[in-house]
Structures are given as structure tokens and as C-alpha cells.
Amino acid sequence: MSVIIEQPMERVARIRLNRPEVRNALNQETRAQLAAAFERVGANPDVRCVVLAGSDKVFAAGADIRDLSERSAVEMMLRNTHRLWQAIADCPKPVIAAVNGLALGGGCELAMHADIIVAGEGAAFGQPEVRIGIMPGAGGTQRLTRAVGKFRAMKMVLTGQPVSAREALEMGLASEVVADGEVQARALELAAEIAALPPLAVMQIKEVVLAGQDASLDAALTLERKAFQLLFASADQKEGMHAFLDKRKPEYVGQ
């Protein structure tokens, strides 16, 4: 299997790329396995947060060029790869990307499907597709622009030059940077913290942030307001507020 699902701790799933011989390059089979993995953990009520990881050496070095070099335009269209990427984007649980080493091309696009990115000091992010005669095709021109702005995104996609983890953090392409040896542990620490919070509120926050980012401000505020009001129908809201008033630790059940 080129994608492995693990449960390193209660309520947290880890989806790990496992193609070390090709630096976790993303071929069609790997993309299909990623989509299936995200659908599985997204539907699992016992999972409240997901960590997406490569190895301690490399996250994902990009698409598998051997799998693409002789393909025709029609073959590429019929692959419907966008549907496989959408399965990741549609995951209702928060996703934390743990990025060690290279996150290039499809690897960078994969990381950008996450909600939080924890990068190691030695990580590098880039969209080098232009250097082999193509362009990003899984969000590299769109998610990147929304994350870092037009001028920084244009420099990355037009030159193919990668940026360091510290540069990524400064421009808004990473949430935090830690020592290379601490990436996986830090991602799991954050996942455990989120998994201990009320899952309905967490999922509503993710849904509203993603749905509202490309809407008008008025429409996005309406989404936020309605989601806020809806949570008052949950048992977790009552539990959270009563626990606060009683000065005790809340127990959230996702109802």
C-alpha cells in the first residue's frame, strides 16, 4: 500500500504516504488511495482530527513523472483526478499536514488541502511544474494565490523556485515551523488538542471558514451566524458552558 491509515492516539487518525523509493511521488494509484483514506476517516465518528504525513525525510516530491510523460490530453481528462483531490478537500474533520523535507508540485498542493501545516526547519515548498513544460493542475495556481497573495504566488509558479519553511511561514503558507525531528510529534500534539474539543463546533468552524472564504463578506457572515446559532441545539454546547460555570473539565460527545 502506498497510503497507510494509522491511529497513533485516541480520536486521531494519521494518513501516511508510503512510497519511499520515489520520495512519495503521487501517481494515480496513490491519489486514489489517498481519496479512499480520507473518505474513510471522514466518515468515522471515532476520528475527530486527521494528520497527513509523509516520512521523516520527505513529504511528497510531486507527481510521478514516469506516470505522466507519455499521456495524452484526453487520457489526462478521463482520469478525473480532480474528483480524487476533492475527496481530500471535502473531509469534514480538521486536517493537519506534517511536512518534513520536500513538498513540491503535487506535494505542495496536497499540503495546501490541509487546514494547518506544521513544517520542519528543513522543509521546502514549491510548484516547479513550469520547468517540465506544464503548470500546476491541482490547486497550485489557486490555493497558493489565496494563501500567499498574487505576487508571491506568481514568483513561485512562474520560476518554479521553492521556498524554505521559514519563508513559507512568513508568507502564510505554513502555520508553524519546528525542528525537523519534532514535526510528527507536534502535529499529533495539535491533533490531540483539537480532538479533545467539541467535534460539532470544530467541524462547523472548518465548514464556515472554507465556504466563506470566497463568498462576499455579507454572505460569509450569514453562514457564520447560522452555524453559531445551530450549535445551541447541541448537547456539547450545554456541556461546555455548564462545565465552564462549574469549573470542571467538559466531556464532549459530538451530539
Annotated catalytic residue, options 13, 35, 61, 63: 63
CA distance 125 to 168: 7
pLDDT tens digits, one per residue of 105-144: 999 999 999 999 999 999 999 999 999 999 999 999 999 9
Active-site residue, from 62, 106, 126, 140 = 106
In this prediction, residue 100 carries a pLDDT of 98
- Annotation says 224 is catalytic: no
Mean per-residue pLDDT, 196-201: 97
Residue 129 among the catalytic residues: yes
- Which of 60, 129, 168, 187 is catalytic? The answer is 129
Burial 192-219 (b: 16+ CB within 10 A, else e): bebbbbbbbbbbbbbebeeebeeeeeee
Task: Please identify which of the residues 109, 114, 123, 126 carries the catalytic annotation.
Answer: 109
- Catalytic status, residue 103: no
Nearest to 109 by CA among 233, 99, 133: 99
CA distance 129 to 127: 6
Could you confirm whether 63 is annotated as catalytic?
A: yes
pTM of the model: 0.95
The edge-to-edge listing of strands for the beta sheet with 163-164 is 102-104, 124-126, 163-164
Record the cell numbers describing residue 253, joined without a space.
Answer: 460527545
Contact 227, 211 (CB under 8 A): no
pLDDT tens column, 63-100: 888 888 788 999 989 888 999 999 999 999 999 999 99
d(CA 145, CA 139): 9
